[in-house]
Structure 1
Amino acid sequence: MLTVESLKKSYDDTTRRSSRRSSGQGTRVYAVGGVDFEVHAGELFTLLGPSGCGKTTTLRAVAGLERPTEGRVTLGGTVLFDSAHGINVHANRRGLGMVFQSYAIWPHLSVFKNVSFPLEVMPRAKRPGRKEIQERVEHALDVTELGAYTSRPATKLSGGQQQRLALARALVTRPELMLLDEPLSNLDAKLRETMRFELKRLQRELNLTAIYVTHDQAEALVMSSRIAVMNKGRVEQIGKPREIYTKPATRFVAEFIGTSNFMEAKVVSVSGSEVRVDTAQGRLVARGVEVAPAVGATVLISIRPECVDLSRERRGNVPNEWAGTVLTRAFMGDVVDHIVGVGDLEIHNRSNPNLSIAPGTEVHFSVAPDKVILVPLD
């Protein structure tokens, strides 16, 4: 549905004026350094990454609020931007719905008027009749569960209701594509968690196609059909949430999505999809490896804390079992985190709260071979 190709956005580096004067050349800084992705109809596609990674700039380029330096953006059969042919459709003609981080509701208007406003200011040739505006506004308010607040001033709504009002205002125009720029970041933690499921419900029920920008990993994992993890203006990996979490393509992805235990290892044998590696602390077996490295290669091992099975007793009949000592533990409510020392290495374990082992206790832990992830070294 939406295709973004070789998108770049650069700015002058104003911090290096003296060097530009001496060299006679400008320095370009790329906020987006060549991004490619495709959004399919009916999916919620998330741009995920830390502050400054280029995700919001990419979204604004799709919206027409930023003019890219290079690239091409197409929606269906319509070219919205093409640097090679000088095409740049104005933002108000792209037919996109957008929900901002700040909601941007009009405080002097009622809930109904906030939602009807985009329809009322349409060009006369495209503007719906009064009856259709009434029906579309009521439908948008009903699906966002704001039907009981039509005459209420927008400022008298709660934070969650204001967020849904901004969404209703975007929905009422029936856009081909919705753009959501961190719409939940201003909500408190409990309400944010509730609204994740509300937004996902609406997206599925209305079969919306949307691009969602966030730095919140949990938000991305809960809501997304697919995720593009961005870093320094580029896409590191695109995939479904489970794939991104269980099979990170780079160290950055493995570190940014959740937490992980890392260690370098040397490949000692490869048999089909089974790879045996040696680390400074001992041997590990990895299974289900899709692209096996060469024997003798150095790789990075990633093991998620919840995949570390901790026990006070040695079992002996399981692969990848090591001995260690609990260094510290932390009760987190729904889980208990243990840090286990193995030589100079510290292994992070995340367990059911029923398991809580005191620091100083000798323990054994194991990792299933299919949970040992081989990550290419950067």
Structure 2
Amino acid sequence: MINIDNVSKRYGSFQALKEINLMFKEGEFVAVLGPSGCGKTTLLKLLAGFMKPSEGMIKMYGEEIGSAKTLIPPNQRNIGMVFQSFALWPHMTVQEHVQFPLKHHRFVEQKLRGDAASRVQQVLNLVGLEHLATRFPSELSGGQKQRVALARAIAPEPSLLLMDEPLSALDAELRMEMRKEIQHIHREMGTTIVYVTHDQGEALAMADRIVVMNEGSIEQVDTPEIIYNQPKTVFVSTFVGKCNLLQGRWQGKNEFIPEYYPGVILPDIGVSPEFKHGNVYPIRPEQWSLAKPQGKGNQLIGKVAFSQFQGKEVHYTIQTGKQSLNVIQSIGKPRHQVGEQVALHICK
């Protein structure tokens, strides 16, 4: 178990992290998600032991490993790390890369150190590189290099595996393939993983929990499902997936009246207090259902401004009053044309 208690980090007058409190459970896959400059890589460096926090404390299994007065260096922490740039040694073969930490990592159990050849073969089989054991990095593709970096990091069975945007250098197809590899390794190894990324798709697809960061602070920590369906802040709602933010006013605690539509009442679908205080109603594009207007009942009316066919779905822009709303409808539902009036209902 890793505890981060009230940790801040300053670089001169700039505060990169502001009073961070987190706990990582054993065997958990946690994605730290946020835009460039939000502090996620600084957090990773503190966990790795590359620098001290300015305030607060980091504990790993009850041992203090980082504070303003204490710094346990990386080689004295039971961690593995996968870098964005692969960081492979050009003079070593794939097999030698995996063997290296088994010889030099101070936390390697004696049984692994004593049978290093067997462990190397086991790890190479796990990442699908057994047939490339004697190749050098210059003879490998990008995806294969990333597998080598993964294999090297997990070979000594670290308690904590840190991953710093490991897939950003790969193309889209390889990223999808490597997501599966990382998930497979996590299931097989059961190691705690802290995975830093700015890619919301990676975080949503792989993590048990997501830490969303912005400007050095934590905006929300939750499961991918809750982060996506019940964002607590405006930043989370717009950074993780697209979200429509309707203007209007909250009537009581559970009813929202959109601006320009005084006769329409939208129900509370798990909206957080921050949105209610700001008189905003967040709703994802796929949470809308479009239909032809029926009479003058409780329905939000708009006009189709744009329509884009996207294979399995159609993306619409609906103009309602002075606001444009994004709507995604799956193929099979009635198609609406530009200029057509439509009623927007919330999917139940």
Q: TM-score range by the shorter chain?
A: over 0.9
Between 71-80 and 128-137, report the one with greater CA deviation. 128-137
Are 1:366 and 2:345 matched, yes or no? yes
Report what 1:57 is aligned to. 42
Q: Which one of the candidate residues 304, 307, 327 is aligned to 2:305?
A: 327
1:217-366 to 2 correspondence within 5 Å?
217-270=200-253, 275-282=254-261, 283-287=264-268, 289=270, 298-311=278-291, 313-315=292-294, 321-355=299-333, 356-366=335-345
Rounded Cα–Cα distance in structure 1 between residues aligned with 2:208 and 2:112 = 36
Rounded Cα–Cα distance in structure 2 between residues aligned with 1:159 and 1:99 = 14
Query: Alpha-carbon deviation of 1:354?
Result: 4.2
What SS does structure 2 have at the residue aligned with 1:252?
helix
Rounded Cα–Cα distance in structure 2 between residues aligned with 1:325 and 1:129 = 66
Query: Alpha-carbon deviation of 1:341?
Result: 0.9
Report what 1:91 is aligned to. 74
Query: Alpha-carbon deviation of 1:104?
Result: 0.5
TM-score for the superposition, normalised by structure 2: 0.92
What SS does structure 2 have at the residue aligned with 1:88?
coil
Q: Which runs of 5+ in 1 are unaligned?
A: 13-27, 371-378
TM-score for the superposition, normalised by structure 1: 0.85
Matched letter for residue 214 of structure 1: T
Rounded Cα–Cα distance in structure 1 between residues aligned with 2:39 and 2:273 = 32
Query: Alpha-carbon deviation of 1:128?
Result: 6.9
What is the alpha-carbon root mean square deviation over aligned residues? 2.4
What SS does structure 1 have at the residue aligned with 2:241?
coil
8 Å contact from structure 2 (residues 313, 331) kept in 1: yes
Between 150-159 and 232-241, report the one with greater CA deviation. 150-159
8 Å contact from structure 2 (residues 54, 67) kept in 1: no
Report what 1:193 is aligned to. 176
Cα offsets for 1:259-303 (capped at 9, x unmatched): 011122222234xxxx1122213233224547779x9x6521101
8 Å contact from structure 2 (residues 255, 267) kept in 1: yes
8 Å contact from structure 2 (residues 231, 272) kept in 1: no
What SS does structure 2 have at the residue aligned with 1:175?
coil
What SS does structure 2 have at the residue aligned with 1:248?
coil
Are 1:38 and 2:23 matched, yes or no? yes
How high is the sequence identity, in percent, across the aligned residues?
35
Count residues with an aligned counterpart.
Answer: 345
Report what 1:375 is aligned to. none
Between 165-174 and 153-162, report the one with greater CA deviation. 153-162
8 Å contact from structure 1 (residues 331, 353) kept in 2: no
Q: Which runs of 5+ in 2 are unaligned?
A: none
Report what 1:24 is aligned to. none
8 Å contact from structure 1 (residues 141, 147) kept in 2: yes
Task: Identify if the C-alpha distance between structure 1 residues 320 and 6 changes in structure 2 by more than 3 Å, giving closer, same or farther.
Answer: farther
8 Å contact from structure 1 (residues 64, 91) kept in 2: yes
What SS does structure 1 have at the residue aligned with 2:279?
strand
Rounded Cα–Cα distance in structure 1 between residues aligned with 2:118 and 2:90 = 23
Query: Alpha-carbon deviation of 1:82?
Result: 2.5
Cα offsets for 1:207-231 (capped at 9, x unmatched): 1210000000011000000001000
